[in-house]
Chains A and B, each alone.
Chain A
């Protein structure tokens, strides 16, 4: 019998983890002589109480959905893809290349082609580590980490030596043509003359992320490929017995994983910066690990976890802007959330399981 009901596993455990992280963060803020209640109010106010705050929160959320799904799909195949960062960088290269070199008539066409390009570039970057894992037994954790560095170096080289407009001083491409600029939330939802979502970077890519969540659910739980990915993830020996090729599943699931990471570039590169910069990913590939862990590798969970981290990112930026709380402390708070929801999961889970068992015994 399962130790506790599914809802407790999916909702209660992460919720308690967050509360513990929040409590600890409050103590840290107290320790440096600031008011945790005021700080929390400021975070909520800056991230959730104004439409432009939402515009930022959802922008970050979009990034984390893609990288969270990227890690989650690999988790289902029992692999740990730490290479979301590098795959997103190379995905950005793909997006930049099509935006710069294909003359698009309309942003919708550009978005479609850039989606394919970003996914393909990200997938290719995941292909090599997955091939090495499947055929040579090189551990995917090691190879994907190394590929993050290689991706950064490749991007650096390409930006500095190949794509940098003559005369420009920073390692970035030229601004993409006007026809590739994606509509922001302000373009889409703000009535004429309103200040709704003003200046905030959330854009149409958010809906692609939502579509990716839905597609992810169908893929994993409704198709035979998803059936095979999960089977392989649970038991490689059983997969072999059933005639599911470990090589094929390893490679295919990593291609999907890398492709999802690559899609993140739509949001950062095409949607926000409108050019490819060196540090477009800003560590979102790594946040994806925490998002997937906290979201239990389920798209709904990933969506909610991405929203939480979007809030932390935006709220954290507000804190840095308006209080004496140093930037580093915001990283500490984010790290605490990751620590409690990801690494210390069992610390919350085991006592809860014991509680549920005790309750059940009393009932029976």
Chain B
């Protein structure tokens, strides 16, 4: 790698506006071949827009794209592929009921007949998997694969199309730490082979770990491009947000009181007949935060849904010592709220908020039947609006305009609206799922402080997050979920990412064989079980 060679990608003065929103402002970067270039920035900073322009989904209003020293027009994704660009999306674009092989050749068939394409692809896949540790069973259906393996298929698809520039958009969001490590090893191998990689992420740790250079985006502008070796997480965070940010949560030791939430042998079967919770037992005391770590899809969502009253379960749940109904008429969101359980759901856009409702309407969502908000047969909208204004000011929702529809707020501000609503009810128990997913760093700090503040008021908090950093820094006690079960509980001071990562993959004892093999074996066993259940 020399600085005199032509850059693999060079963007010159890219601008793109959506209506009044300037998503990209005069952006220029140079990515040298055989390097990993990180692009980091908050949600809405314009990272995805920039990559969509590079991949031909959007047309830039101004600017040029140069690939390997040649000015290149990329009007559509076909042109991007022809130029050697491959993209691995955050949400995979795979056909669930096709095999790996069929997905790989989809759209890149050699001719009208499938057999020769499949045979060729089988050969190429075998070579690629050996070269880059990208092993997947070519004949397995996608729906039977873990997310980690599905992602490998996406990478294989790009490589099969002879991409030498690979863009990965938030690739680790759905992976266990071990899977993420494996992905980084794959990326390392690809870099060694001379491939160029652009890694889009909001996780500072990943940037520090794998990239050679990093560009920071803020509000559509490229604020800095630095060599990773010459920067620090603190400096990057500051560049992203535009001010100094507290990366660690500031909190005093917990002072747990009486047991508020007791869960015993909780089970849940989903509508496909698959058992998602396999006998969960857990306790949350007043004044403590219990964090549930786990890779997405291991039953955490179902646990919150059963606790929140909108999925049926069997077993026992006690709130302040009194048992609550888990099925039937008295098991819904309303009755849970009446028992002092507040819930900030994992997905604020499809559950926590009505996106088309104004902010003020959302500030009573779920509590709208409270007589306090009624006046006669009608709802007391004036009162609701006045209280909403007050809540929005105190929770620093920007803009503090209660008449604006929820969808017009940024992710962080939407989350603050939900938090304000749930915390202001002064609940005994707060269930909170993915509190900072899609939330910018500045708001993360605020949300974490609010959660700790609620704990210090003696409330019981059950936190579910796929971000291990978040679990480690917020929780007073950590329970790890895998495959619908609690694999173990740990105190944050007495554990680390590696141990939790193993538990998240269902490995309960430190193995004597190499880590990655133990994790793979465990995940393969889970896949086989699920394939059996589906088949």
Contacts and interface: CB of A to CB of B under 8 A. Distances in A.
Interface of A: 1-3, 218, 222-224, 227-228, 230-231, 234-235, 237-238, 240-245, 357, 360-361, 364
A360 B20 contact: yes
Instruction: Identify the 4 closest CB pairs spanning chains A and B, nearest first.
Output: A243-B333, A243-B334, A242-B366, A241-B351
B343 interface: yes
B58 to A, nearest CB: 15
Contacts of A243: 309-310, 332-337, 366
A197 to B, nearest CB: 36
Given A235-B350, A361-B17, A218 B378 contact: yes
A12 B356 CA distance: 21
Given A1-B408, A238-B354, 20 more contacts: A223-B378, A224-B368, A227-B361, A228-B368, A234-B354, A235-B351, A235-B354, A238-B350, A238-B351, A240-B333, A240-B351, A241-B308, A241-B310, A241-B352, A242-B334, A242-B365, A243-B309, A243-B334, A357-B20, A361-B19
B345 interface: yes
24 contacts: A1-B20, A1-B408, A2-B408, A223-B379, A224-B373, A224-B374, A230-B357, A234-B354, A234-B357, A235-B354, A237-B347, A237-B350, A237-B351, A238-B350, A238-B353, A240-B310, A240-B333, A241-B343, A241-B366, A242-B333, A242-B368, A243-B334, A361-B19, A361-B20
B374 to A, nearest CB: 7
Nearest to B351: A241
Contacts of A241: 308, 310, 333, 343, 345, 351-352, 366
A323 B354 CA distance: 53
B535 interface: no
Interface string B158-188: 0000000000000000000000000000000
Interface in B321-338: 332-337
A307 to B, nearest CB: 28
A2 B405 contact: yes
Interface centre among A228, A230, A238 (most CB of B within 10 A): A238
A17 B309 CA distance: 46
Contacts, number: 80
A241 B333 CA distance: 6
Given A2-B405, A238-B351, A240-B310, A227 B379 contact: yes
A88 B434 CA distance: 49
Contact of A227 (B309, B352, B368): B368
Given A231-B354, A231-B357, A364-B20, A238 B381 contact: no
Contacts of A242: 333-334, 365-366, 368
B381 A222 contact: yes
Nearest to B337: A243
A291 B254 CA distance: 61
Nearest to A227: B368
B369 interface: yes
Given A224-B369, A241-B343, A360-B19, A235 B333 contact: no
B355 interface: yes
Contacts of B514: none
A360 B332 CA distance: 45
A3 B19 CA distance: 8
A224 B357 CA distance: 14
A135 to B, nearest CB: 14
Interface in B392-429: 405, 408
Contact of A357 (B19, B333, B354, B381): B19
B435 to A, nearest CB: 16
Interface centre among A3, A237, A360 (most CB of B within 10 A): A237
B22 to A, nearest CB: 10
A217 to B, nearest CB: 11
B355 to A, nearest CB: 7
A91 to B, nearest CB: 25
Contacts of B351: 235, 237-238, 240-241
B111 interface: no
B40 to A, nearest CB: 26
